[in-house]
Structure 1
């Protein structure tokens, strides 16, 4: 047995268990050993049976008796049951849907049980408890009558799914441990790094994380595995950075006078932060090596203007050795709505420059300028656009995922701009970058507030530039938290804004009403029903429309056009409008069920109404009674900017909830490390030093094998 051994080869698995393991991402022995518990049963919550109260989750110790198989009287559900006894009393234990438990424990043995205390007509019982067989009963509370004490371990609780229980995972790991596999493992982290940061070796760490004798051991193990994951991410990112630095890139140089001529047409004066960002990008352009930079800024801070100014420098530069044509720019957006919006805004920025700009999405292609109307755009076929792009006749191509298809080839792709970077995977980004011999410069932009530790980790291969200023004259959004009792007066405040000619977004967590027959359905406001209610009962005099992710791209575009042109006054939507939608006349946003969104997402949504110099309002409607949720929402009101908010959410809510694997490709365990800036910086430093002294990791074979197994990158 080794880390690559398949679980199905060592365990007899039912189909439901195979599906459950696949859902949890557990395929091999290594996957299971690296699957950390989400928490541990708290030894301090251990009680005597005589002290138990219904509703509490506790751990108890006792002698097992009366173990038997059975079925529910009405439900006919198969179950195992037993009686647990200690000197202070007895209690029943029931394992629903787990009759096999009766074969795992014997009458007369001692065990620790962890679970929730329930009550029925017969009295108290502990339902579906986790258990661990022990040799003798410990002294766990002050009133215990037991004799000698034994060292108590904290019982691990794992994330479950249908077919795979926490108990199954625990016993499977114990079986793997008993095979002797721990003695064969080589530690992928160099010993000097483990010593330097006082981290346990791989064997100790695996034992401590899955069977800790004390919680301090579990914490030490979690710290080690968090460091390990961040370290290997950094190793990969730093290697990518070093490889990228070896490639040639187009040299782009523009005089300050040329740039001033272009930016003087903007309807606003650039901020110091914008000027600094543009200067940093131009410095990168001159080096002859490909730029890799992340531009992070709040909604409305002027990222698009920075992108346009730097793109101008590229498209007014001739390819080397040519006296005709221009270098090309690809601008990639996460949604068609946003791509069309940027296409229209770039036409305003570049109409006087005399270059061609194209829009390429799955719904169709457009080109500016039109032969018929030099101030407008025209629809063109995809095949025609592809010919013009490969010939170098189109200077700027704006699009969605369509830009990374094999059929899209550029002649002189010098600069790639990617909006809302986290919505594209690294692989997608690399596809776009590898489309030409000379590697294009890369600017990734995001308005998602990212804590510094996370940016240092997941964007370890990029330089970071912050836009931390708003354009002059931009007023801060007035944010109010609205309890149910103040809903009606708030509607009147919104009505005053609408009477002044403004428009309003209303954001709901759901598209449709919850199914009343579904017990676990999310009971939250839906777009469709809320739009009907607002039109009928609150704002009958205004045009109310809806937009959501289930609509076709053409329907979404039509709806947004109506709203952007002022034909619709109130737009009820899901969080679809979170990314980039720009309607300057919309100055009010209502966030329904706000406690159901993350703080970063709420901040992004709120940013939809800071697109002009009119006073903007954000009304946060929430029915929550949870103090933790109320504190989070208050932070939305008090935080000065998105960066401050991201750090607050990181500490209060936890990265597992805030970001997690789905968005960033980082495990929840590593995300815990994001709360520790020193750890992230240490992992970053060690990865860099290691690669500087041993670029191909030839002196660290275990490290090299581990890194290459995790990522599609080779250290040669």
Structure 2
């Protein structure tokens, strides 16, 4: 029976080997790395754990089952998460992982304080002025975005190799990274008989516990010179004391260190000077022509300037929340004194990533609230009471709560800037109408802007249905609006007789002038650029803003993307909304979906068949949709009328096709993702999505939301040709859940923030260390501290260093 301590050593060893070898899914004697981890995590942990820890443990089994399919960065991220989890587990349960005779090697201090006085460096100094960096290397460093000393210091390692543990020769174990100090017993230097360009330094090293055979390899003609080899041998004469660091592996002679780093010592008490021995060694993502050895050297040279950095964060806050000083964090993120120092350094630098983002958001929000005071609305609430009466359903508790939050904002002396999140079909439009009526009743006008004509028309039709019953007028303005109608709308806006204008980008035209714009409602706001939104806001005097999204965003991503907004969340669906039965099918099972479509359509229902649209291959995707439309019409469903929608169809034709579908002139609609939002056809009960693996989870959930809009049972089929476990696991999330917030959280974990909602175009910074899924606690802490600082001094005049750093980061972003 393997002991608990040995169990953890074996897992640590496997992870260390995989990191050392570059995440290649290392082949062991019996298993590949992924198989070994999958088997270990497939069984219950050998200690008592909580339910959450057990579930996380077993989840790793499924993640390592798909390890061969993961990208290099995904493999790296999974191993980091695994190590962190195992570390926390050991801490929680105080697992005694005993290493024989653990010893910290005696290493020299990398940052010599005395040398700082002689070495003049500053953060903004260009790397071309650093004499150790050649002109050719400058170009290579610029390829990875490094121009200044600051860039270099804030370019963090992607991983670490731990050589900081010194062991005796008899106690080395395969797979560990260790340092050994011993005496040379034998030395030989020769050129390989099989490869004339390969030279080998062969040493036998011994200490009081045993001996080990080591080989150091040199590739290149210049190392084959006999005279040079003899000179090297003289450095390693018998009884010379050396320190060696490397990965322990097995060869035909027994255990050895794989091509180890070496340093000759004067005696056993001599400090080790090498950057590559007896330390926690940083590993960087570099480019061809820049190796880690060179990069470590220039990091050390420039780290001396870190000692001169003035930490912007107040000492009291660092002390209260146990945040490492910035200069210490920079030094220990590159060359940590220990694993504990490394973890503390990571925490501080992750905090900074989040903190300055939150500080900027909150500063902007507070300044806007102070500068943009307007008269509060004081409606008699007659219209909202009447609207409540004509509604054919009861509001949910969540809708009522959000309506109260919005009306409270509208009645205050500060401009509202609120994001309304809600799942598909949660009733966001109804909530928006309450806000619109509150503003209209106070004598102001409202603009509602949507990204597409389909969505704008959908809003207009829903709103005008209620406005007619309340004896109020509203108009729709899109690119398809006739010229005569446009001029009439312009006139009514200027006179103030038109209380509500719904439209697309057409609302930001210069001709549009409101008499008294009080509220701007922006639907799917992330699909508009900052300038487009500002053009509409500038048509009024600090109007209130209500942004809406039908794609729920996880709280961590919302704080990061929309930290300058107040957020309201409709977190329940109306009781009449039924769950949509969702099923993942591989291509050969597609006939099951076709049979159900035939059955539903025969009963008077309708169906969507959706194809992916990838921007880079739009023409190919449209061609595929057109060809599939022909095949479906002629071979699969010849007795039904089938419509076709894609992005190249002009707006007038698109509206005609949708209206024909709404009137059931088409029983089946073949479409690209143009129907993702805004299409509301209650009679549609089946959604079939081809090549579902090409979509994100949130987008699939949006498409699924086009059905299930009536009392009829609805279905969604996700068709994929892939049988890879990670694809099936991802799509399986849709089978398990109808909760958009849960689905978006899973989307964030699976894809990262950069590909959700187009966040690369939404000003989301590229965090160097921080992860929105793994560092939620630090994000919350950064927001808390940023709020306290801004509430005490919104202009940051009392915090000049913070103010300067924030301005610098804002310019860079």
Question: Which TM class, normalised by the smaller chain length?
Answer: 0.7 to 0.9
Q: Check the 8 A contact 1:510/1:526 in 2, yes or no.
A: no
Q: Check the 8 A contact 2:474/2:498 in 1, yes or no.
A: yes
Superposed CA deviations along residues 551-608 of structure 1, whole A, max 9, x for unmatched, are 4444544443333333333333333322332222222111222223222222122112
Instruction: Find the counterpart in structure 1 of residue 60 from structure 2.
Output: none
CA distance in 1, matches of 2:200, 2:651: 61
Q: Matched residue of 1:479: which SS?
A: strand
Superposed CA deviations along residues 664-691 of structure 1, whole A, max 9, x for unmatched, are 6132447614443322221111111112
| 1:403 equivalent in alignment to 2:507 | yes
Q: Check the 8 A contact 1:334/1:419 in 2, yes or no.
A: yes
| 1:453 equivalent in alignment to 2:567 | no
Q: Check the 8 A contact 2:383/2:441 in 1, yes or no.
A: no
2:278 pairs with one of 131, 138, 151:
151
Q: Check the 8 A contact 1:331/1:417 in 2, yes or no.
A: yes
Q: Matched residue of 1:703: which SS?
A: helix
Instruction: Tell me how many residue pairs correspond in the alignment.
Output: 618
CA distance in 2, matches of 1:248, 1:414: 12
Instruction: Find the counterpart in structure 2 of residue 276 from structure 1.
Output: 401
2:806 pairs with one of 699, 707, 715:
707
2:717 pairs with one of 619, 643, 652:
619
CA distance in 2, matches of 1:532, 1:513: 24
Q: Which moved more, 1:341-350 or 1:142-151?
A: 142-151
What's the offset of the Cα at 1:478?
0.9
Q: Matched residue of 1:608: which SS?
A: coil
Q: Check the 8 A contact 1:235/1:687 in 2, yes or no.
A: yes
Instruction: Find the counterpart in structure 1 of residue 368 from structure 2.
Output: 244
Q: Which moved more, 1:256-265 or 1:485-494?
A: 256-265
Q: Check the 8 A contact 1:511/1:548 in 2, yes or no.
A: no
Superposed CA deviations along residues 297-340 of structure 1, whole A, max 9, x for unmatched, are 1101110111122212222322xxxxxxxx11111222232123
Q: Check the 8 A contact 2:605/2:684 in 1, yes or no.
A: yes
CA distance in 1, matches of 2:468, 2:435: 16
Q: Check the 8 A contact 1:511/1:574 in 2, yes or no.
A: no
What's the offset of the Cα at 1:708?
2.2
Residues 670, 182 of structure 1: CA spacing in aligned structure 2 closer, same or farther, 3 A cutoff?
Answer: closer
| 1:329 equivalent in alignment to 2:329 | no
Q: Check the 8 A contact 2:367/2:794 in 1, yes or no.
A: no
What's the offset of the Cα at 1:226?
2.6
Q: Check the 8 A contact 2:561/2:762 in 1, yes or no.
A: no
Q: Matched residue of 2:462: which SS?
A: helix
Superposed CA deviations along residues 262-293 of structure 1, whole A, max 9, x for unmatched, are 23323433222222222222222222322222
Q: Matched residue of 2:577: which SS?
A: coil
What's the offset of the Cα at 1:618?
0.9
What's the offset of the Cα at 1:136?
6.9
CA distance in 2, matches of 1:544, 1:14: 62
| 1:690 equivalent in alignment to 2:803 | no
What's the offset of the Cα at 1:412?
1.0
What CA RMSD, in Å, does the superposition of the two structures yield over aligned residues? 4.4
1:436 pairs with one of 540, 543, 552:
540
Q: Check the 8 A contact 1:482/1:621 in 2, yes or no.
A: yes
CA distance in 2, matches of 1:397, 1:654: 37
Structure 1 unaligned runs (5+)? 45-57, 68-80, 95-105, 111-134, 319-326, 367-378, 516-520
CA distance in 1, matches of 2:511, 2:630: 45
Residues 489, 200 of structure 1: CA spacing in aligned structure 2 closer, same or farther, 3 A cutoff?
Answer: same
Q: Check the 8 A contact 2:332/2:341 in 1, yes or no.
A: yes
Pick the structure with more helix per residue. Answer: 2
Instruction: Find the counterpart in structure 2 of residue 178 from structure 1.
Output: 301
Residues 339, 176 of structure 1: CA spacing in aligned structure 2 closer, same or farther, 3 A cutoff?
Answer: farther
| 1:496 equivalent in alignment to 2:599 | yes
Instruction: Find the counterpart in structure 1 of residue 743 from structure 2.
Output: 645
What's the offset of the Cα at 1:65?
10
CA distance in 2, matches of 1:193, 1:675: 23
Residues 257, 388 of structure 1: CA spacing in aligned structure 2 closer, same or farther, 3 A cutoff?
Answer: closer
Residues 175, 399 of structure 1: CA spacing in aligned structure 2 closer, same or farther, 3 A cutoff?
Answer: farther
Q: Check the 8 A contact 2:363/2:795 in 1, yes or no.
A: no
CA distance in 1, matches of 2:145, 2:484: 44
Q: Check the 8 A contact 2:283/2:292 in 1, yes or no.
A: no
Q: Check the 8 A contact 2:177/2:245 in 1, yes or no.
A: no
Instruction: Find the counterpart in structure 2 of residue 223 from structure 1.
Output: 347
Residues 399, 312 of structure 1: CA spacing in aligned structure 2 closer, same or farther, 3 A cutoff?
Answer: same
Q: Check the 8 A contact 1:32/1:173 in 2, yes or no.
A: no
What's the offset of the Cα at 1:153?
4.2
Q: Which moved more, 1:262-271 or 1:635-644?
A: 262-271
Structure 2 unaligned runs (5+)? 1-120, 164-175, 180-187, 203-212, 221-227, 233-241, 250-254, 264-271
CA distance in 1, matches of 2:402, 2:680: 22
Instruction: Find the counterpart in structure 2 of residue 309 from structure 1.
Output: 434
Alignment of 1:41-190 (within 5 A): 137-141=244-248, 143-144=255-256, 150-158=277-285, 167=290, 175=298, 178-179=301-302, 180-190=304-314
Instruction: Find the counterpart in structure 2 of residue 49 from structure 1.
Output: none
Instruction: Find the counterpart in structure 2 of residue 530 from structure 1.
Output: 628
CA distance in 2, matches of 1:464, 1:84: 65
Residues 256, 695 of structure 1: CA spacing in aligned structure 2 closer, same or farther, 3 A cutoff?
Answer: closer
CA distance in 2, matches of 1:498, 1:482: 20
2:413 pairs with one of 279, 282, 288:
288
CA distance in 1, matches of 2:230, 2:704: 62
CA distance in 2, matches of 1:226, 1:237: 17
Q: Which moved more, 1:4-13 or 1:342-351?
A: 4-13
Q: Check the 8 A contact 1:545/1:572 in 2, yes or no.
A: yes
What's the offset of the Cα at 1:641?
1.0
Superposed CA deviations along residues 243-265 of structure 1, whole A, max 9, x for unmatched, are 23223234334445532312332
CA distance in 1, matches of 2:231, 2:546: 64
Residues 306, 204 of structure 1: CA spacing in aligned structure 2 closer, same or farther, 3 A cutoff?
Answer: same
Residues 262, 514 of structure 1: CA spacing in aligned structure 2 closer, same or farther, 3 A cutoff?
Answer: closer
Q: Matched residue of 2:245: which SS?
A: coil
Residues 41, 386 of structure 1: CA spacing in aligned structure 2 closer, same or farther, 3 A cutoff?
Answer: farther
Q: Which moved more, 1:562-571 or 1:228-237?
A: 562-571
| 1:412 equivalent in alignment to 2:516 | yes
| 1:588 equivalent in alignment to 2:691 | no
Q: Check the 8 A contact 1:301/1:467 in 2, yes or no.
A: yes
| 1:341 equivalent in alignment to 2:458 | yes
| 1:604 equivalent in alignment to 2:702 | yes
TM-score calculated relative to the size of structure 2: 0.66
What's the offset of the Cα at 1:645?
2.1
Residues 426, 155 of structure 1: CA spacing in aligned structure 2 closer, same or farther, 3 A cutoff?
Answer: same
CA distance in 2, matches of 1:679, 1:699: 24
Q: Matched residue of 1:300: which SS?
A: coil
Residues 575, 7 of structure 1: CA spacing in aligned structure 2 closer, same or farther, 3 A cutoff?
Answer: farther
Residues 15, 211 of structure 1: CA spacing in aligned structure 2 closer, same or farther, 3 A cutoff?
Answer: closer
What's the offset of the Cα at 1:231?
1.2
